[in-house]
Structure 1
């Protein structure tokens, strides 16, 4: 797939943009700040196209279910808007996607097509791999605007199929970055000290989290929800020796997780026999990746207490640091009955991916 940068070079001259004055710092002072909740996307598209094959592929990219959940939840909150109904307020949205095909003669798609010059359409016609254009801060500061297009629906659908994971990852990374600036503006220094002293890892935990339990190889921090408007989120960090590759097998990861939670995570403080276990009726989802040069397995699944009085979703990472000969399991789990867990899981993901398991004492604080 062509990179977004090469697409920008090919087509930027074909988009009609509003020029504004700069304040000399590279930031356009005349533009307002973008607005929109984390994970929200405004999708500007003809309703007929949204109901057809193009819409089906876009739904697969942006509205597919988060794996391992108790109930169906989409990865992003997508709101569709008719191109002819775009207002100045909607153009200020943080994540904005325009979708069209050049063969569509309908007035809705033509409202988008009018932004492309004849020359840019010819370039797209001569190179069917050109299907997208990414613009930042087009109408507002802190904004991501993405144009998705094709000469025909068939061509656009094919490109969306080939590059869906890249498009999805673009917004996932962007939303984590936005959330990081919000929740990690103030950090819990006490939790960071406990993690360095007991596990030799560096963590970044928001100030709203409190240390619930700390031992030589284990740390549990918790954000107890003060109201029904916010999820109860727990994070825990565990260290053990890395002995064999078999420790990274899915069945062994689950067994490790359950052994940690059975020993350390109580379900009810008043009931010492209550503890957290993995929900076996909902198969967890595993994904391998590399984070900071460390082999990592991501696991998403559902949890419950052994007496089934509570339950929710969790996101965990098994990380191997071969230089230190250590295996780390870090996880966040959510208790938020009858509410959407997507935002809480994105918060967990943002915090956990800021963990550095390779930190050592001689590196300094």
Structure 2
């Protein structure tokens, strides 16, 4: 049975022959290990180009705001570097994006253009749809290098706008994969046992999380020791019978979510008025998809306690398994006042997308 993360494939981008300083995807053991935090991208581009239409198109892709947030936060942490200032250390970054146009005679862009062979440029000239090249492990092991190019700025901007979702998805999937190896190296088997018993699903929870509450049809796990450098993250899982398509309507998803939270999740367990609700002042963002043949809706929104003592961001998935006649709501929410929530939400996404709601118990067990 595939987990949710296994069904999310990386969309392949256009390719073009390019003269590089290495053998590309060949993982040479003599190369250093790539370095960089999760979600960080080094964008190598002429400053004048970044200040113009090309930069605007790139910002729309890599620095787009996460939906449903109380504060503005971008999808990735992007650091721009002038091509002439690239050092050996910077070249070992985990995620590198080089951006240029072949008509740019500026010294910065020429540094990038010099990496392209004459034949490569001619091929791009004859086929304006070519705009990108991926090279793995070019300077370091575990590295993703992406070249974005065009004959002119107008042509590059057109291709960026057309393929923005693909480019964004490339790094989103890659970063989830990197994070998964880190946080799921050690798992909480007790939490998975509770999920199998009370919800009939399989989950993958890091060992750092502990079960806060487990009852029939509901499970709540959280990290017990958040710090100044570590967000307070909670995850909860709920199952109920699927009886009508109306349950999947956005307004009804929120009703299910808030009903579950009201019954089980409190900012202060001793204060019954401190139950968790969706923050209605921030418009929730919904996105429909199909995962493992199951209709799924992603929800990104903000939450608060009913007595307004706490608040934060959350990411949830409503999943319908028609074969089992079940509807699942799974969510992770963050409490991290005055700090960036992006990294915590990526952790939540990575964990939740490793949930298998279609799991069937071994009848012989």
TM-score, normalised to structure 1's length? 0.95
Secondary structure (helix, strand or coil) at the match of 2:178 reads helix
Secondary structure (helix, strand or coil) at the match of 2:145 reads strand
Among residues 7, 10, 16, which one is paired with 2:20 in the alignment?
16
Once the two structures are TM-superposed, the CA of residue 121 in structure 1 deviates from its matched residue by 0.2
> Compared with structure 1, are the counterparts of its residues 221 and 364 closer, same or farther at alpha carbon in structure 2 (3 Å cutoff)?
farther
Matching residue of 2:287: 287
Once the two structures are TM-superposed, the CA of residue 15 in structure 1 deviates from its matched residue by 2.0
Instruction: Judge conservation of contact 1:4–1:132 (CA < 8 Å) in 2.
Output: no
Deviations 1:201-221 (A, max 9, x none): 000000000000001100000
TM-score, normalised to structure 2's length? 0.95
Secondary structure (helix, strand or coil) at the match of 2:262 reads helix
Matching residue of 1:333: 333
Deviations 1:50-94 (A, max 9, x none): 000000000000001000000100000000000000000000000
Matching residue of 1:168: 168
Distance 1:41 1:107 in 2: 23
Distance 1:317 1:194 in 2: 20
Secondary structure (helix, strand or coil) at the match of 1:89 reads helix
Count of residue pairs brought into register by the alignment = 355
- 1:170-249 to 2 correspondence within 5 Å? 170-249=170-249
Which fold has the larger relative contact order, with Cα–Cα distance below 8 Å and residues 6 or more apart in sequence?
A: 2
Matching residue of 2:157: 157
Deviations 1:7-66 (A, max 9, x none): 43x31xx3222359x9xxx64110111000000000000000000000000000000100
Distance 2:114 2:364 in 1: 56
Misfit runs of 4+, over 3 Å: none
The answer for unaligned runs of 5 or more in structure 2 is: 1-10
Deviations 1:170-221 (A, max 9, x none): 0000000000000000000000000001111000000000000001100000
What is the root-mean-square deviation of aligned Cα atoms in Å?
1.5
- 1:109-188 to 2 correspondence within 5 Å? 109-188=109-188
Deviations 1:244-299 (A, max 9, x none): 11000000000111100000001112313320000000010000011122110000
Once the two structures are TM-superposed, the CA of residue 327 in structure 1 deviates from its matched residue by 0.1
Matching residue of 1:104: 104
> Compared with structure 1, are the counterparts of its residues 288 and 82 closer, same or farther at alpha carbon in structure 2 (3 Å cutoff)?
same
Instruction: Judge conservation of contact 1:4–1:133 (CA < 8 Å) in 2.
Output: no
Distance 2:198 2:22 in 1: 54
Distance 2:226 2:177 in 1: 26
The answer for unaligned runs of 5 or more in structure 1 is: none
Secondary structure (helix, strand or coil) at the match of 1:56 reads helix
> Compared with structure 1, are the counterparts of its residues 364 and 83 closer, same or farther at alpha carbon in structure 2 (3 Å cutoff)?
farther
Distance 1:52 1:363 in 2: 62
Distance 1:310 1:260 in 2: 18
